[in-house]
Structure 1
Amino acid sequence: MKRRYVVVDLETTGNSPARGDRIIQVGAVCVEDGEIVSRFSSFVQPGISIPPFIEQLTGIDDQMVKGAPTFEEIAPELLQMMDGAYFVAHNVSFDYSFLQGELEAAGYMPLSMPLLDTVELSRILLHDADGYQLNQLADHLGLVHLNPHQADSDAEVTAELLMHLLYKLKQLPVVTLERLEPILKKLQSSTERILSDIIAEKSRVIQDDTGYDFYRQLVLKKVDRPLHEEEDRDAAETTAVLLREKLKQHMVQFEVRESQKTMMETVEHALQNNEHALIEAGTGVGKSLGYLIPGVLHSVRTGRPFVVSTHTVQLQQQILDRDVPLLSRIMPFSFRAAVLKGRSHYLCLRKFEHSLQDTLDDNYDTNLTKAQILVWLTETEHGDVEELNLSSGGRLFWAQVKSDANTCLGIRCPWFSRCFYHRKRREAHGADLIITNHAMLFTDIKSDSQLLPAYKEAVIDEAHHLEEVVSDHFGTQTDYFAFHRLIERLGTTDSSQAASRLLQLANLLELPKSTDVFTDWNDKLNELKQELDEMFRLLKWFVLNGSKSSAPDTGKVYLRYSSEDTGSPAFAPVAEMFDRFSSMVRDMLKRLRLITKAVMEKEDHLNFQQKGFMADLTGLRSDLEEELSSLSHLLTAPGHDEVYWLEADIKGARHAVWLYAKPVEIADILADEFFAKKKSVVMTSATISVRNSFRYMIDRLGLGDFGPVTAQLPSPFHYESQVRLMIPSDLPLISEVDAKTFTSMVSRSLYEIAKVTKGRMLVLFTSYEMLRETHSLFKELADEEELVLIAQGIDSGSRARLTKNFKKFDRAVLFGTSSFWEGIDIPGDSLTCLVIVRLPFSPPDNPVTNARSEKIRAAGGNPFYDLSLPQAIIRFKQGFGRLVRSQSDYGAVFVFDRRITETRYGRSFISSLPKLPVDIKPLHELTSSLSSWLKEKERP
């Protein structure tokens, strides 16, 4: 059956016809049988002035609509075009409701048409898109979008997008479409007839389903395990001499930089001599291949896996996607590489299958995410959440269906052979090269090496994060919301949660013990919730009244405490409440164990879904026990080798409190649990030396007794000609003026520099509060047509998305803090100026920093020089490294903090950088000098 789709886009003076906003342009495109058959486009005379913001956004001004027809004049032609068609728009609720309002005002009957929303359909069918704005989808699909935010162009692109989406929908297997059908009925788009027609049409012909794996009414992409040629790996070729000789033959056309060659030799030396190593490899050295080549050689020679650990998932993926294929071409033999992430990254197919049976859940985000996953399963080989672009509501659903050790049925699960996580583990156990992340690496160490295959050699990339990660993994934390979520999952007997389902199962099995367990269950659960609320409310009062430390950026206050505090009279009410609360939790757990035991005695009477539910219930019990144990540890604060603190959200809910404990020092943990048990661990980063010494990192990581090999490998970039370090001498220190005056001067200075650099500027802050205030003042100075401002926390989106948006504009300024100091890559002309507003010292009242400082002081050290300064220098070097990412990059680094030149310690920051010109002058002289230098650089 042929269908007509009319794709509509409206440009308007605002968001609400009820408040007097009107249409200024209409674009409509008619699609039939996969082709565009007609178009309609017209400016519309709104009868009111077009606001400046709308004029800037759309490029449509009052002059362009002068003499245009009114909406009443074009309405008949538009209605005739839409008669009997589907109404399609990108965010359909806006265009449809606005059009309804205009038609009603013009005296027409309300529209009654099936709707399709291309945003919603794109979320379901294009899981790998960076975003779902129309221009982002156009880029993703390679569609030409000539005039964004003009109705005719937007309608045209939306029509092409619709055709792509409908085509993709038709390619899905029938089983997937049948699974989608009831879910899509709960969403905005009217796809029922479209889906049923596709299903009927596909059912009449034989489908080519060779690329799919059909199992238990789900369709997965068929994954064939690759075959590896073993004849290239015989014993004769695994001697070091032959491997190196053959490697040279294969690398004749491969450019090896001098620093990269030195890195290979250093890594090979460390591996062969069972030594640990610290290697600082400057930007551009090519450190990934610098450790991968000798690492894989060593793995093949010894028969042991070589582990590479990164801090970020992005680098982990980059190594797999970019470096491993290159390595495969270089190496004279085949090798096996596998990526293994933490369990929560992978979908549990059993849980997802079970979630599809819940047909009563009308939550929009839940159903949208179910539809996304059903389509994604036909395409994914890895089942990794990183491949999905989930909404915040979608991530809540993911938490219900992710893989989890506590709920895994193992080999008893019918999905075991297809399980994404277990498949990754099997791949890792047969791999020469295992790529993981720090979180997974130290989860494995904490769980007695039960997750990763046994290994003796490893590389820790991004090693400057190691102390922080280990501290997190060997620490403890909990909060109100962790308990609240678990108690909600238990639920009452009249809910749709665990207790209700358990009662139904007990009645089905005719278990007499269910009466004892469930008689007053609901009352007890409500009492438990009340006790939880009261306990955390009191904890928040305790923090707010006792805290002297705050973090303005996050709106939270901190309170450090010790075992002396938790044993004090002031803390006694909290301790009493915890005793009552823990007693009540243990009672609930006892009831659950009793009924679980009774159910499992009749395990032979349970079907697969019921067994799965009991596994989930066991996991829920285990989670609750672990959380209670954590809270008990945190409220008694037993250890002197840990730092304990409470955080409370000042403006948050009355029970918004978090409790933390972390080891003060991790050196002994790493020395005993990691370095002493491995033959060779190579740690590398672009920033692990301080003042050209590795002493700080050796001490912090517990490497002092191991005598590690060290190497400092310079970047191949020519910083003396590529970069200028500029320090304005006329900017005040923040201690010399009030905060408002300082921020105002920073804003004006940034504006003066941005005029010279034509935007192309990254500004790094140490405080989100200062970022927000500076951004606000900068907006008042800069014309919106002159510069595009993009700010973390103000403009929505992830770091990657904000960076991508920054690259799109010719004259943009990007404001960032925290995560923007490292890990972002903006090569080329998009970035020619980096501004560091303040030297990145950690807040002195940070509980962990505070505790470490106390320990250093007690040992006779200097906390500033032994801890705060080295940390700040490493952070500073990370920020500096954002500017030059290739041989052709150039630009200026401004530092607005005069402490870098006027204090004795400030010179340590400059001496930790590559050798480069340093200019210390008033700002107007620096901008004049920079203007001349940039013109010279830009000259062909």
Structure 2
Amino acid sequence: MLHSQIKRDIKQCYENLGNQLDNFIPRRAQNYLVAEIAKTLAGEYHKKNRMLVAEAGTGIGKSLSYLLGGIPFALFNNKKILISTATVALQEQLINKDLPLFNRIFPKEFSFILAKGRQRYCCSHKLELSVAGDNDDQMALWQEKPKKSDLELLTRMKKAYESGKWDGDRDAWPKQIPDRIWQQIVADKHSCHAGLPKHRQCPFAKAREHLDKADVIIANHALLMADIELGGGVILPEPEQTIYVIDEAHHLPQVARDFSSAAASLKGAANWLEKLNQSTAKFAELADYAKAGRFQSALQDNIQHLIPTLRQIATNIDPAHFSDDGIYRFEHGELPQWLEEEAKGCKEASKKALQALGKLHDLISERLKDNEISARLGEPALSEAGFYLQRLENLEKVWALMAQPNNKKGAPLARWIEKSPDRDGDYIIEVSPLEVGYRLDQLLWSRAAGSILVSATLRALNQFTYFCRQAGISESDGVRFLALASPFDYQNNARLVIPALPLEPQADKFTDLLIKVLPEYLEGETASLVLFSSYWQMNKVAESLQATAKKNKWQLLVQGEESRTVLLKKHKENCENKVPSILFGTGSFSEGLDLPGDLLKNLIITKIPFAVPTSPVEEAHAEYIESRGGNPFLQISVPEASKKLIQSAGRLLRKEEDSGRVVLLDRRVISRRYGKALLDSLPPFKRIIEHK
């Protein structure tokens, strides 16, 4: 049961909120969501599986709901709250707006912090070494010889860090730091860790101290996955002591899949392994030959197995197997026997090489700690060894996945080879799981003190089934599901128009039809957004409509011609100056684009956003479903299109007083059997279906 003290704290917050915000109107849906979050965390629905999956439409106030329902419970029960988001924009909103507001209305003290991965921080000692003059060991780590301007920038950064004007966070530096420079000073887990005296005050170590003390932590999905893949509690708090709030939860399965994937080149890897081979004697000398001799031998033996093997694999690959886009995918994830054998050998060799280099790294680290070798010699060697350890970890992951036998029960791994776009004649070996739900369940849901998953679009075709399958969530086992409709008055404020067009999007002449009919739906409109399914089609239509736009004094703003920020700024200025403004965009403009009030009155969706399974992972997933007698179009394409269509339509109304229309130029919602389900999953707009 929910403790009476927690109930009092939540009630007090609500009263204070009314005093803090002008025009605050309590919303029934928001109140209900707060109560359900608190009750779920208290174990009222299931003692062990304290999980809520909530789709909450635009305008409900999701972030304030989970702060109100989660923080009082977490503090009372001495738990941490981790809020994970998919976008930087939501992180900034939470850190700069929502949490400071909640801090003012909550009757108790609490602290919050933004968590970032190690790679967002510099290593202060690496920074010091990078400007220490002609240090050959340090210079050897540069991929190319540094320019004078690179060294000048590093000197400015060092001075700013030492004077306290910069905290070592890449995002806090006033200008963008080029990748080639950042790679020289970035913190890494092998050479920059608090066990070494010179690194105890490094930026990441300081950030971790603050993180350990904070009550509420904001992270992104990638950092969350990085932590749980390491076992949990390594970067972020222990899962058993943490209540996870996953906002923008519909992105989590894809992030999880990306984290479980791996890729490495063949010839490129052989080249850096040769450089590593040349450094092994130096590592062994610094580690003390008496202790390190056997590790040096093991490292060299395994490198000398890997280098010719990787080059031979590249030679053995038959170019005839590649598609026009340079991809050779193995059907059902099954490798030819020769490659299966080579994969097993590469797996063992990369694993043993990684272990041997790890031992050399540890011995150097111990000698450095005990002052048996100077920091001038030891630190660059640790940094260099750390660089190769990371590469070997990735190489070992790739070949371990390539050599892994296909699971008889679950989906196989997608395995493919891609021609390298950068290196002539090189290939990239790539592996990805098709389904990652079991990993999320095993590493996260089954261990968490509580889990709250929220998004404006979690359902597909009005059901949670598709998302649950992707995210490894059981639809039974006491999981609480909520679908809360937006408070907006869709019937009176918005209409959905489906014109009587003679062609459907798969027709050859559909692009020509768009060029002909779009002006009719742009005429007389002040603020329009037109969403296309492809860049090619968008650019062709834009080019053809330039003369019409000029004649009508429309400002046509096309995605890709300038940055998103610049385009939106120009669109806003046009609208303020009463100049008809039209934005053309593709799929990325259908999510996260906020154009409230007069900034959007006319939304045109040119076609249902069906994704064609073109990536090797999508093709392999479709192949797997077919092999089990399923229909990939109905099981993957239609649910995905439903989600994307809802997101696209969600661009129109952003606030309660907003109004306008959605024009859908795709008759398949009327003509096809799956169309009704797509149509019924959209918000309850007033429908105007034109008949031919």
**Structure 2 residue aligned with 1:266, among 36, 53, 62?**
36
Mapped partners of 2:286, 2:208: distance in 1: 38
**Structure 2 residue aligned with 1:880, among 637, 649, 652?**
649
Residue in structure 1 matched with residue 206 of structure 2 by the alignment: 423
Counterpart contact for 1:281–1:713, Cα < 8 Å = yes
**Structure 2 residue aligned with 1:920, among 667, 684, 689?**
689
Task: Give how far 1:680 is off.
Answer: 2.1
Paired positions, count: 656
Residue in structure 2 matched with residue 908 of structure 1 by the alignment: 677
Task: Give how far 1:532 is off.
Answer: 5.7
Residue deviations 1:415-470, cap 9 Å, x none?
Answer: 423x3322232222222212112112122211111221122421111111122122
Q: Does 1:343 align with 2:118?
A: yes
Counterpart contact for 2:529–2:604, Cα < 8 Å = yes
Task: Give how far 1:281 is off.
Answer: 0.8
Which amino acid in structure 2 is aligned with residue 807 of structure 1?
Answer: K
Q: Does 1:404 align with 2:188?
A: yes
**Structure 2 residue aligned with 1:825, among 594, 605, 629?**
594
Q: Does 1:743 align with 2:518?
A: no
Counterpart contact for 2:66–2:245, Cα < 8 Å = yes
Q: Does 1:384 align with 2:169?
A: yes
**Cα distance, 1:865–1:561 mapped onto 2, change above 3 Å:** closer
Task: Give how far 1:586 is off.
Answer: 7.5
User: TM-score w.r.t. structure 1 length?
Assistant: 0.62
Q: Does 1:322 align with 2:322?
A: no
Mapped partners of 2:4, 2:682: distance in 1: 41
**Structure 2 residue aligned with 1:717, among 485, 488, 492?**
488
Alignment of 1:549-560 (within 5 A): 557=327, 559-560=329-330
Mapped partners of 2:99, 2:365: distance in 1: 50
Q: Does 1:667 align with 2:423?
A: no
Residue in structure 2 matched with residue 247 of structure 1 by the alignment: 13
Task: Give how far 1:890 is off.
Answer: 2.6
Alignment of 1:459-538 (within 5 A): 459-479=245-265, 483=269, 486=272, 490=276, 535-536=313-314
Q: Does 1:620 align with 2:387?
A: yes
Mapped partners of 1:922, 1:373: distance in 2: 66
Alignment of 1:127-206 (within 5 A): none
Task: Give how far 1:856 is off.
Answer: 4.1
Counterpart contact for 2:604–2:662, Cα < 8 Å = yes
Counterpart contact for 2:6–2:76, Cα < 8 Å = yes
Q: Percent identity?
A: 26
**Cα distance, 1:800–1:536 mapped onto 2, change above 3 Å:** farther
Counterpart contact for 2:343–2:402, Cα < 8 Å = no
Q: Does 1:890 align with 2:656?
A: no
Counterpart contact for 2:364–2:382, Cα < 8 Å = no
**Cα distance, 1:280–1:649 mapped onto 2, change above 3 Å:** same
Residue deviations 1:201-259, cap 9 Å, x none?
Answer: xxxxxxxxxxxxxxxxxxxxxxxxxxxxxxxxxxxx99224423433442342423222
Mapped partners of 2:364, 2:197: distance in 1: 22
Residue in structure 2 matched with residue 140 of structure 1 by the alignment: none
Task: Give how far 1:685 is off.
Answer: 0.3
Task: Give how far 1:714 is off.
Answer: 1.6
Q: Does 1:630 align with 2:397?
A: yes
Mapped partners of 1:470, 1:644: distance in 2: 15
Residue in structure 2 matched with residue 446 of structure 1 by the alignment: 229
Counterpart contact for 2:166–2:173, Cα < 8 Å = no
Structure 1 gap ranges (5+): 1-236, 493-497, 924-940
Task: Give how far 1:301 is off.
Answer: 0.7
Residue in structure 2 matched with residue 77 of structure 1 by the alignment: none
Mapped partners of 1:672, 1:510: distance in 2: 42
**Cα distance, 1:670–1:530 mapped onto 2, change above 3 Å:** closer
**Structure 2 residue aligned with 1:757, among 521, 525, 534?**
525
Mapped partners of 2:617, 2:588: distance in 1: 19
Residue in structure 2 matched with residue 43 of structure 1 by the alignment: none
Name the SS for the 2:32 alignment partner.
Answer: helix
Which amino acid in structure 2 is aligned with residue 246 of structure 1?
Answer: Q
Counterpart contact for 1:483–1:627, Cα < 8 Å = no
Which amino acid in structure 1 is aligned with residue 392 of structure 2?
Answer: E
Mapped partners of 2:219, 2:446: distance in 1: 21
Residue in structure 1 matched with residue 142 of structure 2 by the alignment: none
Identify the structure with bigger relative contact order (alpha carbons < 8 Å, sequence gap 6+): 2
Alignment of 1:848-867 (within 5 A): 848-857=617-626, 861-867=630-636
**Cα distance, 1:806–1:532 mapped onto 2, change above 3 Å:** farther
Which amino acid in structure 1 is aligned with residue 169 of structure 2?
Answer: D
Task: Give how far 1:826 is off.
Answer: 2.3
RMSD: 4.1
Alignment of 1:640-655 (within 5 A): 640=407, 641-646=411-416, 648=418, 653-655=423-425
Name the SS for the 1:646 alignment partner.
Answer: strand
Residue deviations 1:83-111, cap 9 Å, x none?
Answer: xxxxxxxxxxxxxxxxxxxxxxxxxxxxx
Name the SS for the 1:622 alignment partner.
Answer: helix
Residue deviations 1:311-340, cap 9 Å, x none?
Answer: 223312221111111101111111111221
Most deviating of 263-272 and 636-645: 636-645
Which amino acid in structure 2 is aligned with residue 366 of structure 1?
Answer: D
Task: Give how far 1:781 is off.
Answer: 4.7
Task: Give how far 1:687 is off.
Answer: 0.3
Task: Give how far 1:803 is off.
Answer: 3.5
Residue in structure 2 matched with residue 692 of structure 1 by the alignment: 462
Mapped partners of 2:259, 2:448: distance in 1: 19
Mapped partners of 1:809, 1:647: distance in 2: 48
Counterpart contact for 2:332–2:620, Cα < 8 Å = no
Structure 2 gap ranges (5+): 140-144
Residue in structure 1 matched with residue 500 of structure 2 by the alignment: 729
Counterpart contact for 1:566–1:635, Cα < 8 Å = no
**Cα distance, 1:315–1:730 mapped onto 2, change above 3 Å:** same
Mapped partners of 1:839, 1:630: distance in 2: 38
Residue in structure 1 matched with residue 640 of structure 2 by the alignment: 871
Task: Give how far 1:861 is off.
Answer: 4.4
Counterpart contact for 1:537–1:654, Cα < 8 Å = no
Which amino acid in structure 2 is aligned with residue 834 of structure 1?
Answer: L
Residue deviations 1:137-182, cap 9 Å, x none?
Answer: xxxxxxxxxxxxxxxxxxxxxxxxxxxxxxxxxxxxxxxxxxxxxx
Counterpart contact for 1:445–1:674, Cα < 8 Å = yes
Mapped partners of 1:808, 1:286: distance in 2: 28
Q: Does 1:604 align with 2:390?
A: no
Q: Which has the larger radius of gyration?
A: 1
Residue in structure 2 matched with residue 353 of structure 1 by the alignment: 128
Task: Give how far 1:655 is off.
Answer: 4.0
Name the SS for the 2:495 alignment partner.
Answer: strand
**Cα distance, 1:375–1:780 mapped onto 2, change above 3 Å:** farther
Counterpart contact for 2:602–2:652, Cα < 8 Å = yes
**Cα distance, 1:380–1:896 mapped onto 2, change above 3 Å:** farther
Name the SS for the 1:239 alignment partner.
Answer: helix
Mapped partners of 2:427, 2:437: distance in 1: 30
Mapped partners of 1:534, 1:730: distance in 2: 57
Mapped partners of 1:581, 1:832: distance in 2: 57
Name the SS for the 2:335 alignment partner.
Answer: helix
Counterpart contact for 1:309–1:437, Cα < 8 Å = yes
Task: Give how far 1:295 is off.
Answer: 0.9
**Cα distance, 1:245–1:881 mapped onto 2, change above 3 Å:** closer
**Cα distance, 1:609–1:785 mapped onto 2, change above 3 Å:** farther
Mapped partners of 1:252, 1:782: distance in 2: 47
